[in-house]
Chains A and B, each alone.
Chain A
Amino acid sequence: MSRPAGFEFSNPDRRQLLGTAMGIAAASLLSVHPALAAATDAVRPFRIRFPEAELMDLRTRLAATIWPDKETVADDSQGVPLAVMQELARYWQKDYDWRKIETRLNALPQFITEIDGLDIHFIHVSSKHENALPLIVTHGWPGSIIEQLKIIDPLTNPTAHGGSASDAFHVVIPSMPGYGFSAKPTTTGWDPERIARAWVVLMKRLGYAQFVAQGGDWGGVVANVMAQQAPPELLGIHVNFPETIPPEIGMALQAGGPPPAGLAPDEKRAFEQLVAQRTKHLAYTLEMGTRPQTLYAMADSPVGLAAWLLDHGDNYAQPAAAITSAVLGRTVNGHSAGAVTRDDVLDNVTLYWLTNTAVSSARLYWENKRRLLSAVNVSIPAAVTVFPGEIYQAPRSWTERAYHNLIYFNEAGQGGHFAAWEQPELFSAELRAAFKSLRS
């Protein structure tokens, strides 16, 4: 019954050993190590090529979709509207071309290396500028390394993007365990703490004795955890997903009361955003946090998966608004798609589909033991950019309490939850400014 997603592994060393015709299923591929297995810290080149049969199967399933009725409202308040899903499915089936993103990814230096027993996939682009600052950037859910493709050139090659050579980064963009082309954990324990430790191993393995880390969404959590662990190699972090809710505010949110008296206007706004998020926008995280395995439909139905990844439980407000704007080709509720295109969104959804990672990615919520967005206790240098479309606009006052050595704080003019994807130039400029003081 099972038809695991497959892709070919193109590694020159392995080719000689195993022959060129190897087309190996993802599961077996990622659990089997090349003949150089003796050295488990080997860094192996990686290329993607899904068999045509996988793409055919996807299109067949899309064409055979059984649809529910139309929603009973005139807006998106019950979820992704039927007409939106049907138009997206039509394009996905008939016009969308996976091979384009496959080619783009394969044009980048991609690698796999085993860390803590798990194969980790990553993109690694070194800057030509030798004093470049090594940086590891982590995606979130429902994202992937595809979120970060547009910042690679601005960060590694700043002189072509209005920056100077001294702004350059060496960029490492890993896929989180259970996401994309990283292996799917078969046992428990891959929580943000363990991922954070793995990232330090990865950076050291690549020869970076000093580096910085960046992230949004789950990637922001990973960066925050790295900062709390504070390994000596970590110079500092930048997050666009600051976790700042003070304990007393967290209790008030839990109790479901009105905003506590005495909040400044920006704190009151954040409180109200968090109330809306908790009461109306969080069910998908609760489901994945408690019953990820039950989401069989997301492995079996491409439309089911797409709706699940698109919705993000928040109507046409942020964070899904930019994604929805991209899919619809028009600005929804004043939230521009920015640089995100419909193909970008489908590239990401198709990546989840072909790698069959809907359930394995959901498990990160199950693994997590942290109270997300609650104030972290970070003492190493930290930089924060607050994007206006983020889940909540972290007030500077809360941010300063959570990050004791706040080296940079800025409220960006535009962009949302998928900041690197939506506003790659702006995002890159933020990273340059954020880390400037750590270079000097």
Chain B
Amino acid sequence: MGASSVLNVAAPHPMAASEAIRPFRIHVAEKALVDMRRRINETRWPDREAVADESQGVQLAAIQQIARYWGTEYDWRKIEARLNALPQFITEIDGLDIHFIHIRSKHSNALPLIVTHGWPGSVIEQLKIIDPLTNPTAHGGTAADAFHLVIPSIPGYGFSARPTTGGWETGRTARAWVVLMKRLGYTRFAAQGGDLGGGVVTAMGKQAPPELLGIHTNFPATVPLDIAKALQAGHPPPADLAADEKRAYEQLTILFAKKRAYAALMATRPQTLYGLADSPVGLASWLLDHGDGYGQPAAAIMSAVLGRTINGHPADGLTRDDVLDDITLYWLTNTAVSSARFYWENKLNLYNFADVSVPAAVSVFPGENYPAPRSWTERAYHKLIYFNEVMKGGHYAAWEQPQLFSAELRAAFRSLRQAT
């Protein structure tokens, strides 16, 4: 009962030319929704955690509260309608069907931009930045700030096909994105991403195809190699670090020591996660947790689903329905395991020294996994055209702070427009 049987894909018959761009609409069969609700309502629960906080994982009362809403009131058809109101397409690249949203600005000089989501995200993370970026005059910007926007689903995620053979790592995805943009007629474009999407844009930056004007990332890979070595060895911060470097070092120490198990598991044994394909609640807790308790990056997500601000990290633009839309998308497309495989495939260290020479812009959001110091960022991105420490927002910056995020992209790419 995979996605293929539950999704009624309203796409025209594939054309002879494998480069065809086929319109795409989503319609999940009602029986798939009924089955999901039945499973949620028949969940077999473990005991309550043995602690009074979230230090052992997502708390039983929290996940039960989410499950109650998800199994009774939540309405998938709303997000389905929102997605179907957008121009969605599928095209085959490198043997794989790639799903994407494509919105052209009415402003003819708009800058083409491809924005890539991460894990446990999807195209749903980016829905709120579409209008600010493509239609800036309605959001406090000028016509000169406009973007033509392409938002693809990573292979194995959402409505893109799930690879059946190995090899779809960040580098191959990066090359596919260049093919996609060129196929859409964009000969010069910029790229943006956070989380694994940050890994993809870093790979694009390293590949430096001539069409790529520059990149922006909210997940910069800046850790110098000597620092990475010290971190791996578990050493205390080197004595000569500046204050912001020391802070980054300490956050990375905690991250690698306590918050990376889910990533390590998906990078080594993704197939063993059968339970995530079979249990909606198991999938939801896995996607919600992100291995960091109520610290960032999961804090904004938890604030949204619980309806209260956790540890000072507000949900802001994020709602409970947003989060459940994303989780339900993973469930209905049965992509828990295929999305996890991206970690297994990935050969790029997402944190270490990017060594990128194309023009690069970086926004550091305060709730990100680690606050990249400017010094490290300048070493990793040799042509840093923009660097800003944003006042609010976390790991899901586009989802949490869509206006702020959009303003960052306008500022970040301004100099590249002038250059063209």
Q: Which residues of A contact B (CB under 8 A)?
A: 1-3, 27, 65-73, 78-82, 85, 184-188, 251, 254-256, 280-284, 286-287, 289-301, 303-308, 311, 313, 356, 358-360, 363, 366
On whether the beta carbons of B272 and A80 are closer than 8 Å, the reply is: yes
On whether the beta carbons of B282 and A298 are closer than 8 Å, the reply is: yes
In this complex, the member of A81, A283, A307, A356 whose beta carbon has the largest number of chain B beta carbons within 10 angstroms is A283
Q: Please, which residue of chain B has its CB at the minimum distance from the CB of A186?
A: B50
Count B-side interface residues using an 8 Å CB cutoff. 64
Given contacts A255-B233, A284-B265, contact A300 B338 (CB under 8 A): no
Give the residues in chain A near B229, CB-CB below 8 Å.
255
Given contacts A1-B41, A1-B67, A300-B281, contact A72 B47 (CB under 8 A): no
Instruction: Pull 23 A–B residue pairs with CB atoms less than 8 Å apart, ordered by A.
Output: A2-B43, A3-B44, A67-B2, A67-B277, A68-B273, A69-B2, A69-B334, A85-B274, A186-B47, A255-B229, A283-B267, A284-B272, A293-B57, A293-B58, A295-B57, A295-B275, A296-B63, A297-B283, A300-B282, A303-B278, A304-B278, A311-B269, A313-B269
Q: How far is the CA of A379 from the CA of B185 in the complex (A)?
A: 75
Give the residues in chain A near B234, CB-CB below 8 Å.
254
On whether the beta carbons of B269 and A78 are closer than 8 Å, the reply is: yes
Give the residues in chain A near B12, CB-CB below 8 Å.
none
Select the stretch in B162-170, B307-315, B390-398, B399-407 that faces chain A. B162-170
B22 → A minimal CB distance (Å): 22
Given contacts A1-B41, A186-B47, contact A307 B60 (CB under 8 A): no
Q: Please, which residue of chain A has its CB at the minimum distance from the CB of B48?
A: A186
Q: At the interface, yes or no: B85 with Cβ under 8 Å from chain A?
A: no
On whether the beta carbons of B277 and A290 are closer than 8 Å, the reply is: no
On whether the beta carbons of B165 and A255 are closer than 8 Å, the reply is: no
Given contacts A188-B51, A313-B268, A360-B47, contact A304 B56 (CB under 8 A): no
Q: Please, which residue of chain B has its CB at the minimum distance from the CB of A284?
A: B265
Q: At the interface, yes or no: B357 with Cβ under 8 Å from chain A?
A: no
Given contacts A78-B344, A294-B289, contact A286 B260 (CB under 8 A): yes
Give the residues in chain B near A185, CB-CB below 8 Å.
50
A180 → B minimal CB distance (Å): 14
Q: At the interface, yes or no: B64 with Cβ under 8 Å from chain A?
A: yes
Q: How far is the CA of A299 from the CA of B64 in the complex (A)?
A: 14
On whether the beta carbons of B279 and A304 are closer than 8 Å, the reply is: yes
Interface string of B303-324 (1 = CB under 8 A from A): 0000000000000000000000
B315 → A minimal CB distance (Å): 20
Give the residues in chain A near B268, CB-CB below 8 Å.
280-281, 283, 313
On whether the beta carbons of A287 and B262 are closer than 8 Å, the reply is: yes
Q: How far is the CA of A55 from the CA of B197 in the complex (A)?
A: 45
On whether the beta carbons of B274 and A291 are closer than 8 Å, the reply is: no
Q: At the interface, yes or no: B232 with Cβ under 8 Å from chain A?
A: yes
On whether the beta carbons of A68 and B337 are closer than 8 Å, the reply is: yes
Q: How far is the CA of A73 from the CA of B269 in the complex (A)?
A: 12
Given contacts A80-B272, A255-B232, A305-B275, contact A286 B261 (CB under 8 A): yes
Q: Please, which residue of chain A has its CB at the minimum distance from the CB of B230?
A: A255
B327 → A minimal CB distance (Å): 13
Give the residues in chain A near B57, CB-CB below 8 Å.
291-295
Q: At the interface, yes or no: B270 with Cβ under 8 Å from chain A?
A: yes
Query: What are the 10 tightest A-B residue pairs by CB atom distance, in nearest-first order?
Result: A304-B275, A297-B282, A297-B275, A79-B271, A293-B57, A79-B272, A294-B57, A68-B337, A286-B261, A359-B46
Q: How far is the CA of A294 from the CA of B165 in the complex (A)?
A: 30
Q: At the interface, yes or no: B49 with Cβ under 8 Å from chain A?
A: yes
Q: At the interface, yes or no: B410 with Cβ under 8 Å from chain A?
A: no
Given contacts A85-B274, A298-B282, contact A68 B338 (CB under 8 A): yes
Q: How far is the CA of A299 from the CA of B60 in the complex (A)?
A: 12
Interface string of B224-268 (1 = CB under 8 A from A): 000001001110000000000000000000000011111011011
Q: How far is the CA of A151 from the CA of B291 in the complex (A)?
A: 40
Q: At the interface, yes or no: B73 with Cβ under 8 Å from chain A?
A: no
CB-contact partner of A296 in B264, B274, B281, under 8 A:
B281
Q: At the interface, yes or no: B336 with Cβ under 8 Å from chain A?
A: yes
Q: How far is the CA of A360 from the CA of B165 in the complex (A)?
A: 36
Q: At the interface, yes or no: B137 with Cβ under 8 Å from chain A?
A: no
Q: How far is the CA of A256 from the CA of B235 in the complex (A)?
A: 13
Q: How far is the CA of A78 from the CA of B337 in the complex (A)?
A: 10
B18 → A minimal CB distance (Å): 21
Give the residues in chain B near A280, CB-CB below 8 Å.
268
Give the residues in chain A near B273, CB-CB below 8 Å.
68, 79, 297, 304, 307
Give the residues in chain B near A363, CB-CB below 8 Å.
50, 56
Q: At the interface, yes or no: B376 with Cβ under 8 Å from chain A?
A: no
Q: Please, which residue of chain B has its CB at the minimum distance from the CB of A255?
A: B233
Give the residues in chain B near A188, CB-CB below 8 Å.
50-51
A325 → B minimal CB distance (Å): 18
On whether the beta carbons of B43 and A300 are closer than 8 Å, the reply is: yes
B169 → A minimal CB distance (Å): 12
CB-contact partner of A293 in B46, B258, B271, B338, under 8 A:
B46
Q: At the interface, yes or no: B59 with Cβ under 8 Å from chain A?
A: yes
In this complex, the member of B162, B164, B268, B270 whose beta carbon has the largest number of chain A beta carbons within 10 angstroms is B268
Q: At the interface, yes or no: B119 with Cβ under 8 Å from chain A?
A: no
On whether the beta carbons of A254 and B261 are closer than 8 Å, the reply is: no
Q: At the interface, yes or no: B99 with Cβ under 8 Å from chain A?
A: no
Q: Please, which residue of chain A has its CB at the minimum distance from the CB of B49?
A: A293
Q: How far is the CA of A258 from the CA of B302 in the complex (A)?
A: 42
In this complex, the member of A187, A292, A299 whose beta carbon has the largest number of chain B beta carbons within 10 angstroms is A299
Interface string of B329-366 (1 = CB under 8 A from A): 00000101110010010000000000000000000000
Q: At the interface, yes or no: B285 with Cβ under 8 Å from chain A?
A: yes
On whether the beta carbons of A66 and B278 are closer than 8 Å, the reply is: yes
Give the residues in chain B near A70, CB-CB below 8 Å.
164
B355 → A minimal CB distance (Å): 20
B158 → A minimal CB distance (Å): 15
A182 → B minimal CB distance (Å): 13
Q: At the interface, yes or no: B1 with Cβ under 8 Å from chain A?
A: yes
Q: Please, which residue of chain A has its CB at the minimum distance from the CB of B164?
A: A72
On whether the beta carbons of A293 and B264 are closer than 8 Å, the reply is: no
Q: How far is the CA of A149 from the CA of B199 in the complex (A)?
A: 50
On whether the beta carbons of B47 and A184 are closer than 8 Å, the reply is: yes
CB-contact partner of B275 in A1, A73, A287, A307, under 8 A:
A307
Give the residues in chain B near A255, CB-CB below 8 Å.
229, 232-233
Give the residues in chain A near B232, CB-CB below 8 Å.
254-256
Give the residues in chain A near B285, CB-CB below 8 Å.
294-297
Give the residues in chain B near A72, CB-CB below 8 Å.
163-166, 341
On whether the beta carbons of A360 and B58 are closer than 8 Å, the reply is: no
Q: Please, which residue of chain B has its CB at the minimum distance from the CB of A1?
A: B43
Give the residues in chain A near B258, CB-CB below 8 Å.
290
Q: How far is the CA of A70 from the CA of B265 in the complex (A)?
A: 18
Give the residues in chain B near A298, CB-CB below 8 Å.
46, 275, 282
On whether the beta carbons of A68 and B336 are closer than 8 Å, the reply is: yes
Q: At the interface, yes or no: B69 with Cβ under 8 Å from chain A?
A: no
A-contacting residues, B36-92, CB 8 Å = 41-51, 56-60, 63-64, 67
On whether the beta carbons of A284 and B269 are closer than 8 Å, the reply is: yes
Q: How far is the CA of A235 from the CA of B289 in the complex (A)?
A: 46
On whether the beta carbons of B271 and A68 are closer than 8 Å, the reply is: yes
Q: At the interface, yes or no: B276 with Cβ under 8 Å from chain A?
A: yes
Give the residues in chain B near A73, CB-CB below 8 Å.
166
Q: At the interface, yes or no: B387 with Cβ under 8 Å from chain A?
A: no
Q: At the interface, yes or no: B286 with Cβ under 8 Å from chain A?
A: yes
B46 → A minimal CB distance (Å): 4
